[in-house]
Amino acid sequence: MDALQLLEELGRVEVVDADVLDRTADTLKAAIAVEERHRTDGDLADAHRLIAAPSGVGSDDRHEERRRSRHGGGRRRQRSSLRAAVTVVVVAAVGIAGALKPGTPGGPTPAAAAVLKHLALVAIGQPAGDVPGPGQFLYVESDEAYTSTTVGSPTYTVLMPEHRQIWVAPDGSGRLDESYGQPEFLSAQDHADWVAAGSPPLPHAPSDTSFGPGGLSLMDLSHLPTDPSSLAAQISSRQIEGGPPGTAEDFTQIGDLLRETDASPALRSALYQVAASLPGITSLGTVTDHAGRPGIGVAYVHGGEQDELVFDPQTSALLGEQNSVVGPGSAYRVGTVFGWIVFRQSAVVDSTATGPNGAPVPLPPASSAASPAVPIKGPKSVPTGG
Amino acid sequence: MDGTDTEAVERSPAGDGAAFVELFWHHGPAVHGYLSRRAGRQDADELLSEVWLRAFRSRSSYDHTVADTRPWLYGIARNVLRAHWRGQDRTRRSMEPAFTDPWPEADDRLDAFAQREALERGLATLSEDEREVLLLVVWEHLTPAQAAEALAIPQGTARSRLHRARTLVRDAFEIPGITGSTSLHNPSRSWSKEA
């Protein structure tokens, strides 16, 4: 044994705790943020200029875009069955969650790129999450509210709160459990119109449905590049989801790849870097989501409406979303929050009767557990609007 | 994780703090290892952020013509360590504590008391600069040229110090009763007291 070999061996004794690295990184980021804030304080005019450059997409089309891309197959499946049943309820499923800080509509900071790059780095430092294998399911629990417009005479719109649990396997089989809270009218006029329509019952009936293969869908992300420029090219050319051109759709599709998916840390990091490159993305700083959790908000404003994504600063995970009106051009009044989501928890589980950590979640009645690939799932008490 | 270290540091003054955080994720573990080997893990946990905050504040001092930031970072870490040692023991004239301090964890793995004593004896005969060059090369895997840069000394000086340090440590180590045939890769057996 050579003395220098022994010396080298003695030096090979430690691995740093991840906690220590995380804590140090946070300290460093805080110091950097202070410095960057000082530097960007003079750039508010630029921020407002960015916000004032909406995409100009028409309101109805925008909602349709959202409905199509939000939440993947489960949501699409639900909507199509609603249409088939009565053709009068249009569920504009809109994501969102971070409550806007009062008085800061649009978010004034141009530091979104820095924030998103920071999130990209945090993501890279995260452990690889589980990916559901054969016979396993991705489980996601969320709460959300979305606009539900009942078309009839007259037509009215409510904000419908929903508690949602989804189990989805790579082959699209799984379970979707949704229950609804008391809706809120988006405006006094909506309330008056509801009364004029005869005050039909508002909350949707709860629904808990099992699906065979293809009934739901879990986006297959395994083929997506984790190189930001390649990923940006695939997103902007609409190879992944299709859809219209435009930055608003880019931002929506980035969100789609994060919602109820098993996106790896590397892919999330790449997505955040792609978002950082989008023109007009703004940083909202620290916001609070609808579950009261603080997070980092980034947003895109188009047609007077702000789509906001909120991320956990510690893990970079998507905490939630919010859609709100911040300027002229929307069908709703300025200040209206017309959608939000909070993602409560997600996990890979072995059974649709199991939640995270093996906690049992009782299955629906056996009849629906054996349902075909295309579920029979009507809106049991949805108003027909005449 | 695109771009070189140099780009990361260069971008920082222009406002891209994320690039500097990227640099931290690249080299933070190694810098922590350096601090831990020299000051013990507990102190290293505390000193790590000081090193990186100091690095961020002094990033304009970084020589942008050099592709690898590690010598620059180790130089900063070295200064933080020296200040730490000074504060820890004001009565000691030496800038560095006895070598027994940072090694309790090594003790767990290497029950090689006699050998380690000999090694410490050898290290103790070195000057501070000789020891530093040696440990940067052996423990931190810097090249002699990088060690020279970290310590802000000429490369030729670093090489000669390294040569002298190696010779002195080997000489101190080659004492009667120690054979050179044991395996590094099974230290628990090879270096047990009973062996």
Asked whether the predicted pLDDT for residue B128 surpasses 70, the reply is yes
B25 chain-A contacts, CB cut-off 8 A: 21, 25, 121, 124-125
Q: Write the CA distances from A333 to A172, A289, A304, A337, B38, integer angstroms.
A: 39, 21, 10, 9, 63
A143 forms beta bridges with: A163, A342
Asked whether the predicted pLDDT for residue A39 surpasses 60, the reply is no
Tell me how far apart the alpha carbons of residues B30 and B74 are, in angstroms, rounded to a whole number: 9
Predicted pLDDT of residue B4: 59
Tell me how far apart the alpha carbons of residues B99 and B38 are, in angstroms, rounded to a whole number: 8
Q: Which of B7, B9, B23, B24 to mutate to test the interface with A (most CBs of A within 10 A)?
A: B24
Tell me how far apart the alpha carbons of residues A134 and A151 are, in angstroms, rounded to a whole number: 42
Mean pLDDT confidence for B108-134:
74
Non-local CB neighbours of B187 within 8 Å, separated by 6+ positions: A9, B109, B110, B112
Q: What is the DSSP string of B107-135?
A: HHH---HHHHHHHHHHHHTS-HHHHHHHH
SS3 readout for A104-138: CCCCCECCHHHHHHHHHHHHHCCCCCCCCCCCCEE
Which range is most confident: A55-64, A101-110, A256-265?
Answer: A256-265
Q: Tell me whether residues A11 and B138 touch, CB distance under 8 A.
A: yes
DSSP strands (E only) in A270-372: 282-288, 294-302, 305-311, 318-325, 337-349
Give the chain A residue nearest B165 (alpha carbons). A4
Average pLDDT value over all residues in chain A: 74
Question: Would you call A38 exposed, middle or buried from its count of C-beta atoms within 10 A (0-12, 13-18, 19+)?
Answer: exposed
Q: Tell me whether residues A5 and B184 touch, CB distance under 8 A.
A: yes
Find the range with the poorest average confidence among A19-23, A60-64, A331-335, B95-99.
Answer: A60-64
Tell me how far apart the alpha carbons of residues A276 and A247 are, in angstroms, rounded to a whole number: 12
**Between residues A341 and A201, the one the model is more confident about:** A341
A-B CB pairs within 8 A amount to: 132
**A17 CB near a chain B CB, below 8 Å?**
yes
Predicted pLDDT of residue A60: 30
Question: If residue A207 lies in a helix (H) or strand (E), which one and from where to where?
Answer: strand A207-211
Tokens of A380: 């049991």
pLDDT tens digits, one per residue of A261-293: 999 999 999 999 999 999 999 999 899 999 999
Which segments of B12-127 does DSSP mark as H helices, in order?
A: 17-39, 41-57, 70-88, 104-109, 113-124
| A279–chain B nearest CA distance, Å | 17
- Contact at 8 Å (CB) between A113 and A281? yes
A6 chain-B contacts, CB cut-off 8 A: 110, 112, 115-116, 119, 173, 184
**A64 CB near a chain B CB, below 8 Å?**
no
Q: Tell me whether residues A10 and B16 touch, CB distance under 8 A.
A: no
My answer on whether omega of the bond before A154 falls inside 30° of 0, hence cis, is yes
Q: Tell me whether residues A23 and B49 touch, CB distance under 8 A.
A: yes
Q: Write the CA distances from B108 to A10, B41, B138, B187, integer angstroms.
A: 10, 14, 20, 11
Q: Phi/psi at A365 (nearest 5 deg)? A: -55, 150
B41 chain-A contacts, CB cut-off 8 A: 14
Tokens of A332: 């709703």
Of the pLDDT bands very low, low, confident and very high (cuts 50, 70, 90), residue A28 is confident
Of B25, B135, B182, the CB nearest to A125: B25
**A151 CB near a chain B CB, below 8 Å?**
no
Asked whether the predicted pLDDT for residue A43 surpasses 90, the reply is no
Pairing status of strand A318-325 against strand A337-349: antiparallel
A92 forms beta bridges with: A147
Of A7, A10, A16, the CB nearest to B33: A16
Q: How many C-beta atoms lie closer than 10 Å to residue B112's C-beta?
A: 25
Of B15, B24, B170, the CB nearest to A39: B15
The one-letter amino acid code at B82 reads: R
Non-local CB neighbours of A325 within 8 Å, separated by 6+ positions: A304, A305, A306, A332, A333, A334, A335, A336, A338
Mean pLDDT confidence for A91-100:
27
- Contact at 8 Å (CB) between A156 and A190? yes
B60 chain-A contacts, CB cut-off 8 A: none
A13 chain-B contacts, CB cut-off 8 A: 37, 103, 105-106, 109
Asked whether the predicted pLDDT for residue B112 surpasses 80, the reply is no
The answer for A 104-143 residues in CB contact with B (under 8 A) is 114, 117-118, 120-121, 124-125
Predicted pLDDT of residue B16: 64
Of A21, A29, A124, the CB nearest to B29: A21
Tokens of B6: 């140099």
Give the chain A residue nearest B123 (alpha carbons). A7
Of the pLDDT bands very low, low, confident and very high (cuts 50, 70, 90), residue B67 is low
| A10–chain B nearest CA distance, Å | 6
B173 chain-A contacts, CB cut-off 8 A: 2-3, 6
Give the chain B residue nearest A29 (alpha carbons). B21
| A51–chain B nearest CA distance, Å | 21
The one-letter amino acid code at A223 reads: H
Q: Classify residue A363 by its DSSP letter.
A: P
**A52 CB near a chain B CB, below 8 Å?**
no
Mean pLDDT confidence for B139-147:
89
The upper half-sphere exposure of residue A174, i.e. CA atoms within 13 Å in the direction of its Cβ, equals 29
Tell me how far apart the alpha carbons of residues A22 and A30 are, in angstroms, rounded to a whole number: 12
Asked whether the predicted pLDDT for residue A194 surpasses 60, the reply is yes
What is the ipTM, given to two decimal places? 0.72
Predicted pLDDT of residue A322: 94
Q: Tell me whether residues B33 and A7 touch, CB distance under 8 A.
A: no
